[in-house]
Structure 1
Amino acid sequence: MKKCTKCGLPETYETIEFNQFGICNICLQKDHKDESINWHDRKEMLDDLVAQYKGKYDYDCIVPFSGGKDSTFTLKYLIEQYGLKPLVVQFNHGFLRPQLLENNERTLKKMGVDFITFTPNWKLVKRLMLESLIRKGDFCWHCHTGIFSYPMHIAIKFNVPLIFWGEPSSEYTAYYDYRDDEIESVDETRFNRYVNLGITAQDMAGMIKDDFKFDERDLWPFTYPKTRDLKRLGYHSVCLGSFIPWDVKKQSKEIMDELNWQGDQVEGMPWDVYPYEKIECYLQGVRDYIKYLKRGYSRVSQMTALDIRNGRMTKAEADELVEQYEGKRPPSLELFLEYLDLTEDEFNQIVFKTVVPPFVPDFDNIEDAPKTKDFDTWFRESKV
């Protein structure tokens, strides 16, 4: 496969393009971010935005919150820098890990905030996961849509027009581009562009209606609010990382030092290098494994590419980590197959239909990844 000559991302990476020197558009975005954006002006834009809403509603803003590194930093920054009173909203996808829950409790108590969490119907979640896997080779439709739609519903219910998300998508992809010099809006256009995998909640209802009994109201949390309701609210939904230079490694250290936020081991990731990355979900290993089977790379490639761009890792060091960690079968696959009542062969056949050329997975020669320390605490369907 063709790979970026600078960061090593392959041609199967979403939204990737290469220039005449073989350098990818994601790397070029990083150069623009560092050299061309006036971050002082961006910070003044943030000051003006906050001033527009602060103190005028029951809450100054909504902060969608998983408890991962980005949402934790966002919450901390907004409270400490601006003294905002946020309503913190969590969509619980059903797979939150013990360490993440402990982090949440410490963070929320130390920050002193009001907190709403929502967990959808488990039986419906399983059916949505299966349908999404079959149609898109991505079982996380319920998570993608719920995380980005549910807080918007809460914003309407509580009449809170300002919503702050964390990192902009331009850090990792080119669905939006730092070089556009525009503030990335987290709106319905963005939601439909890549969040919902091209499947609306109405689409999904039609896909599962013949074999799953549900009430149409069950799909409400995954449905983006009506435009007229959002316009009536006068909403402003943005990423904090559009206004300040986003630096995940620096920000992770800050929340670890000041909030006692604890990292965790993630399947298929080098624990000593990335203790902060995607620690929220105990099916993260399966998600990354599917990405590898489809595209020939996984999260290790994505994170090492980011470190190369930031001058924190050499290409040789990155290649060594990719070789050591990527492409291994995660122990959580066993739980995942149990949840969806699939055999591994059936799983492989489904994923194979979504493979992105020129990569071709070799299902017969895949090694097993080690278990994480908390693996035995994860939910087992057979124990219900």
Structure 2
Amino acid sequence: MILGLLKEHGKETRVALLPETVQTFTDLKVEVLVEQGAGEKAFASDADYEAVGAKTVSRNDVFAKAEVLLQIQPPAEGDTERIKDSQVWISAFNPLWDTALVKTFLNKGITTFSLDLIPRTTRAQAMDILSSMATVSGYMAVLEAAAKLPTFFPMFMTAAGTIRPANVLILGAGVAGLQAIATSRKLGAQVQVFDVRSAVKEEVMSLGGKFVEVEGATEDKAAGGYAVEQTEEYKKKQQDRINEVAAKSNVVICTAQIPGRKAPLLIPKEAVDAMKPGSVIIDLAASTGGNCELTKNDEVVEYKGVSIIGQSNYPAQKPVDASRMFGKNVLNFMKLMIGEEGELNLNFEDDIVKGTCITHAKEIYNERVKSVIETK
């Protein structure tokens, strides 16, 4: 197999594979072509890649010679026209949301795998890029909030008096939320957490957070641990409770998302109106509409003294470790498709391979994506 590692576009600083992970691919008899400069923003030089057996070539050569094309982001503008139907495209392209791109891949007959849809099973944990990147996001969200807040996070007892700890509200107790709880507590904040899934209460409490109870949530074991749509009655009770807690919070960190749908609105404008001047909202769901009504993706909105930070790519602010984690996930996934002699083996009998495959032979393989496409 010839694996082509592409340079990311736009503001992305990560790279899908660092040299240390490329070394393992070459040990598995996979030839690796690296686009020149692919790792420079993650502090990996072309010489570093060549030292572990990769070849650094032009972008044109990667597209011309590689059997498998790998990057983190969806294809850059014009790249879908360059991908041949004999090639395999691997990235994280959010197929439940970007159905137009899925249809383009489908019509061209390109085999594609979207790493953000790796099944969330015990066996697939070592391949789960969402969990890895959410860890970075939860950590960074708290650090940015602490830097932006005009008060301290921890309680201080000084000769000048006692400084009260910050009150932090975290919406969503997935991986990002749990990391945000842990980091907030390490910094000395008081933390309250809301999630519609009652099963996460024990994890929240084990990290030192207080779970905000709202009775009557709908839960679906078939949702693979994700949140699901709720009834209107529950949404009303939920909103009243969140508004009440948010008004007393110095920091709100929003992490709640539903795959393939717009992020749930949890902090409406009237809730922001009731917050204290100087408060900070960090919205990790900004790329899918945001949990806060006033969020703008990749922007900081100042509203009545409240800072609303829409940030959907914190991992790019920690490119070395984020790339390291991402690359290990990719390696563990691709091992399922590498034969003994380094050849490409698309084993669709494997539930992880099949579940992550979006399009192949002009068919949609992922059932969740297929259902979304059929309803649009």
Indicate whether the TM-score tops 0.5: no
Higher-Rg structure is 2
Relative to its length, the structure with more helix (as a share) is 1
- Given the two structures, how large is their TM-score scaled by the length of structure 2? 0.35
Bigger RCO of structures 1 and 2 (CA < 8 A, at least 6 apart): 1
Q: Tell me the TM-score normalized by structure 1.
A: 0.35
